[in-house]
Structure 1
Amino acid sequence: MPDHAQLRRATAWMSGTAVEEGDAARVSVALPDASGHFPPKPDIAAGACGPGSTALEPGRLYRRISGRDDRARPVSDEELAELGDPLAVTFFRAGRFPTTVQELLSQLPATAAASRKVYLVSEAGQISPGAIGERDMRFAMTTAVEGSQVDLLVSTQAGGDPERGFLQVAAWDSAAKVFNFYARFGSSWVWAGNSWHALEPDSRGKGCFDSHVNGSAVMKELRIPWLNWQSERATIRLAEDDPLRQDLLFQQVIGAERLELTVRSLVARWTAARLAAVTANGVVDHPDRLLRHLFTNTTINLTSTDRQSSTITADSGELTLPTGFWLNQDLLFDDLRLFTQAAPPRAQAAAYLASLTRFGFRLEEKFSGFSQPGDTFFAFVVPEAAHEDNEVVRQMVRTGLISARFAACALMVDFPNPVFSPARSLLMRYVPTTPTKAAELGDKVARAILDATRTRDLSADSPEARFAAHWQVPEDAWPSVLGQRVDAYLRKVTQRAQTASGFDDYVRLAESRRRQFRRMKLHEFELTMPVTNIPPGAPPLAMREDGTVTELT
């Protein structure tokens, strides 16, 4: 194993058993290569952000872009001059190489200290401190060094020896308009690449880009109740004598509801810079790298109900399930403004409680041997469409790169499956992979899909035929016509969720999507989601527009 490599606890125990390999093969049907996903591999350390086999000299900045550099090498003076972010300018150009987060923060300008915000996250944060050993608590910090906008993000372990724990930084270069990604190893630092490297085939999904998939800031639990984060909805539990209570950073922790706003603005900033750059000359060199955000899920967010699972009783009445489980609410409702009236689907609390027993819900961590019956702290955790993908689509529509109508027609193909949709992903085959005029991009893809419906023997239920049917809706009518379909779907789902068999189907669907998420490198910690007695090799499931659930074959 390479020196300095840190194996994430969720994947360190994985081995290529026959069951897992079979499950991975099925998942690949739902996640084609065009989606940009990168399944975990047994040798994940080889693709880490670390220096590989290189022995690092103290007090130097190295470069290692995973997938592009076999090992770390010193950053040249010319390369250092091109790094214009606050970490490079304030520290590395001045020959300073902080070894702890305290040293890094103390040497920033006073204005940066005034703007600093500190957050705390732990997937074991709501588990009794005495019930589990290592709790993987991490600080996330944001600060504005060079102006009024956040340009430095720091992630480090909370507690323990600060010189031995990980220390990672994402820093915004306002001149180059990219994030640069760094990690400290001993008393040296490694530059792991910038936002553009996240999008290049040789480095995509490797090293730090297995989580910063699209080169931006990341917060998977972006929506209320901000799963696993200390927030206005939940406080991370500490023992009374935990030394962390005396940590000055811990004493500055504020709620993740503030971090959500910061992350959304940072994603928007990089997305705007990216779109401006790739359309600057009126030609998009790699249209597929943009439209995969519409037709596939390049990454995933996690959502849940806003109810603590331990407070739900048989007398709790109805439980509002997360809207992101049923469809892509942000794009369809907030951005494309489909005309809808249906309320979010609800289920009986008694049905939810019965499912915990019937499906053997538990929190489990193979690494430590920890196991606890029941659901996560907030009930019904599921994957949902990622804000990063939605923001690219949102800005493509806003800038006229694609029309709102085109986006709606694409999203409505298999809209009951906002994540892991093989049908919608299939339409990537019609997206050009060669330079295309920006003004013609959306219409060119639409024509290719429509031509396929005329020249190929496709079923009426094929993704192409569904897109074509949406495209035929008059320009002034599609928001209401498509909205009526969404309304009808949500009413059917609401009816089925009130039945025992219907709710059980939705539990199976939720677990199927969680299982697919676990195959992604984004799944870093086992305690992020519950496990059930549903076999790991069970076929992946999909939702139908009539509210029923079916197997993907």
Structure 2
Amino acid sequence: MPDHAQLRRATAWMSATAVEEGDAARVSAALRDPSGHFPLEPDVSDGGCGPGSTALEPGGLYRRISGRDDRARPVSDEELAALGDPMAVTFFRTGRFPTTVQELLSELPTAAAASRKVYLVSEAGHISPVAIGERDMRFAITTAVDGNQVDLLVSTQAGGDPENGFLQVAAWDSVARVFNFYARFESSWVWAGNSWHSLEPDSRGKGCFDSHINGCAVMKELRIPWINWQSERATIRLADDDPLRHDQLFQQVIGAERLELTVRFLVTRWTAARLAEVTANGVVDHPDRLLRHLFTGTTVNLTSTDRQSSTITADSGELTLPMGFWLNQDVLFDDLRLFVQAAPPRAQADAYLAGLTRFGFRLEEKFSGFSQPGDTFFAFVVPEAAHEDNEVVRQMVRTGLISARFAACVLMVDFPNPVFSPARSLLMRYVPTTATKAVELCDKVAQAILDAARTRNLPADSPEARFAAHWQVPEDAWRSVFGQRVDAYLRKVAQQVQTASGFDDYVRLAESRRRQFRLMKLNEFELTLPVTSIPPGAPLLAMREDATVAELT
């Protein structure tokens, strides 16, 4: 019987009950179905979105929303009528239940084929096919069925048995303005819920919403060089005799640089629909569900250098480390328009190479027994602030729900830690959890923090006191003041990273953040990140504004 570490790699949203009952066929299929992170994120740890112990009748649509439904049940006529996305309209309402991706695509309206785009991803895709066996390759397919905007996203394994491999769909309902999430099980389908279910307490973080935490399409590697994807920066390697070369979908694969634009658009579209709904009539429903994107961050993206680690030599000069490691560049620079003159920090190539040896960098996959010394294909992979979170902040500012000044005052509380910041997270206690007038929200939260800083005798370095100090900066000066601080910070980083001890500290900081990422459901593949000799139980670290690294307390 396979263990749960192995099962975590399964794509089939298979219930724990089914595993315990020893459904050997499904367990075997699940172990070989690579987990796809676009458009659907599976979960087997809590039962996922699968049918549970329910036996599915062939050719039907079932409902199972994890956290709400213990097991799958047939979708009612009323529920089916309410599903207005292309998958429901084209197939389920007409009594059709495609069992393969080829059948699904071929039965879409003819016009949809012209807009179809196919992408390829694998965390082992840049490793020699001679060195590793199963490579967990997945196709991500986008198409526009109803109109000229993408409204159907399909994730399926690349190669293998098309009838037993995973097949998952996210479909946009242009009337309800939500994504509906579906997965095929044998010859039936399960509706796993819609975007709104991702935000509700009983279903949040469960089933397909464990990784699609905000109810939208997910592409973890959203920035150049599009780590793990076939792109203009790297080609996924296949053996000369790999049958996948003859696959029709493989022959249509294009670069992930196009997919980035699509995903950004999809996140923007859903975020706009969400904000419009929750701020209707001038009242913000559940303001905490919006402001957590600013104060805590709900998820992350992965970023790296644009250099292939295997090409870096001692004579390579300097290596530009990803800006997202140092701060949230998208919001601070692009949206809040802080101006800095400091260049992105660069490390010496020989320091990077020495660090690989000193910290025992390697790629390991216990599941297959694969091990290889060195870094990931692109060097220095780290978590960065998620586009999903940034887009909510961006639209809250643009619509006037919060001011740019307020967003800046919050982010500056701990800007050297763009992800996993306990200091910013502590400020969530001042965010109302009940309906609040939109025009009052920003000032209400700010005043609550200011009152706490004044009356609770908090230290000057407390998050409340930091925010209060920021709030005192004049309206016409905050961009300049904050920009100067960020500029000074980056200059200090640039100095520190050139020293042996400074670079080693940043390697430890990067590994600390990777360890926190590994605790997230987004971490589905062992080969996503390198392994180091730094003990898993080592203290978590944080960056300080003076560019030094300290243990989290």
* TM beyond 0.5: yes
Match of 1:393 in 2: 393
Aligned pairs (5 A) from 1:28-427: 44-427=44-427
* Distance of 1:9 and 1:150 partners within structure 2: 28
Match of 2:30 in 1: none
Kindly indicate whether the alpha-carbon contact (under 8 Å) linking 2:46 and 2:206 is maintained by their aligned counterparts in 1: no
Aligned partner letter, 1:432: P
C-alpha deviation, 1:9, in angstroms: 2.4
TM-score of the two chains, using structure 1 as the length reference = 0.93
C-alpha deviation, 1:6, in angstroms: 9.3
Aligned partner letter, 1:229: W
Kindly indicate whether the alpha-carbon contact (under 8 Å) linking 1:61 and 1:74 is maintained by their aligned counterparts in 2: yes
Deviations 1:182-234 (A, max 9, x none): 00000000000000000000000000001111001100000000000000000
Kindly indicate whether the alpha-carbon contact (under 8 Å) linking 1:46 and 1:52 is maintained by their aligned counterparts in 2: no
C-alpha deviation, 1:133, in angstroms: 1.0
* Distance of 2:452 and 2:319 partners within structure 1: 43
* Distance of 2:63 and 2:549 partners within structure 1: 48
* Distance of 1:365 and 1:106 partners within structure 2: 37
Aligned partner letter, 1:74: P
Question: What RMSD over aligned residues (CA atoms) do the two structures have, in Å?
Answer: 1.5
C-alpha deviation, 1:297, in angstroms: 1.6
Kindly indicate whether the alpha-carbon contact (under 8 Å) linking 2:344 and 2:490 is maintained by their aligned counterparts in 1: yes
C-alpha deviation, 1:130, in angstroms: 1.2
Structure 1 unmatched ranges of 5 or more: 13-42
Match of 2:450 in 1: 450
TM-score of the two chains, using structure 2 as the length reference = 0.93
* Distance of 1:6 and 1:144 partners within structure 2: 35
Aligned partner letter, 2:486: V
Aligned partner letter, 2:135: R
* Distance of 1:6 and 1:207 partners within structure 2: 17
* Distance of 1:10 and 1:142 partners within structure 2: 22
- The 3-state SS of whatever aligns with 1:183 is strand
* Distance of 2:93 and 2:44 partners within structure 1: 32
- The 3-state SS of whatever aligns with 1:139 is strand
C-alpha deviation, 1:385, in angstroms: 0.2
Match of 2:503 in 1: 503
* Distance of 1:52 and 1:298 partners within structure 2: 28
Kindly indicate whether the alpha-carbon contact (under 8 Å) linking 1:449 and 1:468 is maintained by their aligned counterparts in 2: yes
Aligned partner letter, 2:102: Q
* Distance of 1:331 and 1:374 partners within structure 2: 33
* Distance of 2:272 and 2:537 partners within structure 1: 41
C-alpha deviation, 1:85, in angstroms: 0.1
* Distance of 2:330 and 2:242 partners within structure 1: 40
Match of 1:18 in 2: none
C-alpha deviation, 1:47, in angstroms: 2.9
* Distance of 2:74 and 2:453 partners within structure 1: 54
Kindly indicate whether the alpha-carbon contact (under 8 Å) linking 1:122 and 1:136 is maintained by their aligned counterparts in 2: yes
* Distance of 2:112 and 2:90 partners within structure 1: 12
Greater relative contact order, per chain length (Cα 8 Å cut-off, separation 6+) = 1
Match of 2:526 in 1: 526
Aligned partner letter, 2:432: P
- The 3-state SS of whatever aligns with 2:281 is coil
Deviations 1:417-441 (A, max 9, x none): 0000000000000000111101111
Kindly indicate whether the alpha-carbon contact (under 8 Å) linking 2:119 and 2:140 is maintained by their aligned counterparts in 1: yes
Is 1:464 the counterpart of 2:455? The answer is no
C-alpha deviation, 1:8, in angstroms: 2.7
Aligned partner letter, 2:160: G
Match of 2:17 in 1: none
Deviations 1:134-153 (A, max 9, x none): 10000000000000000000
C-alpha deviation, 1:550, in angstroms: 0.3
Aligned partner letter, 2:330: D
* Distance of 1:10 and 1:467 partners within structure 2: 44
Kindly indicate whether the alpha-carbon contact (under 8 Å) linking 1:306 and 1:378 is maintained by their aligned counterparts in 2: yes
Kindly indicate whether the alpha-carbon contact (under 8 Å) linking 2:8 and 2:45 is maintained by their aligned counterparts in 1: no
Aligned partner letter, 1:142: T
Cα 1:11–1:315 change in 2 (3 A) is: farther
Kindly indicate whether the alpha-carbon contact (under 8 Å) linking 1:430 and 1:449 is maintained by their aligned counterparts in 2: yes
* Distance of 2:426 and 2:531 partners within structure 1: 30
Deviations 1:6-61 (A, max 9, x none): 9332999xxxxxxxxxxxxxxxxxxxxxxxxxxxxxx9443312111100000000
Cα 1:314–1:227 change in 2 (3 A) is: same
Match of 2:514 in 1: 514
* Distance of 2:175 and 2:349 partners within structure 1: 53
- The 3-state SS of whatever aligns with 1:391 is helix
Kindly indicate whether the alpha-carbon contact (under 8 Å) linking 1:86 and 1:146 is maintained by their aligned counterparts in 2: yes
* Distance of 1:271 and 1:193 partners within structure 2: 17
* Distance of 1:50 and 1:154 partners within structure 2: 17
* Distance of 2:46 and 2:219 partners within structure 1: 25
Match of 2:28 in 1: none
C-alpha deviation, 1:407, in angstroms: 0.2
Match of 2:33 in 1: none
Kindly indicate whether the alpha-carbon contact (under 8 Å) linking 1:85 and 1:172 is maintained by their aligned counterparts in 2: yes
Deviations 1:109-164 (A, max 9, x none): 11100000000000000111011111000000000000000000000000000101
- The 3-state SS of whatever aligns with 1:153 is strand
- The 3-state SS of whatever aligns with 2:440 is helix
Kindly indicate whether the alpha-carbon contact (under 8 Å) linking 1:286 and 1:433 is maintained by their aligned counterparts in 2: yes
- The 3-state SS of whatever aligns with 1:219 is coil
* Distance of 1:481 and 1:284 partners within structure 2: 31
- The 3-state SS of whatever aligns with 2:448 is helix
Aligned partner letter, 1:391: E
Match of 2:35 in 1: none
* Distance of 2:69 and 2:9 partners within structure 1: 25
* Distance of 2:520 and 2:510 partners within structure 1: 16
- The 3-state SS of whatever aligns with 2:428 is helix
* Distance of 2:296 and 2:100 partners within structure 1: 39
Q: Which runs of 4+ in 1 moved over 2 A?
A: 5-12, 43-47
Aligned partner letter, 1:397: V
Aligned partner letter, 1:194: N
Identity %: 89
Kindly indicate whether the alpha-carbon contact (under 8 Å) linking 1:100 and 1:163 is maintained by their aligned counterparts in 2: yes
Aligned partner letter, 2:139: F
Cα 1:132–1:111 change in 2 (3 A) is: same
* Distance of 2:46 and 2:377 partners within structure 1: 34
Structure 2 unmatched ranges of 5 or more: 13-42
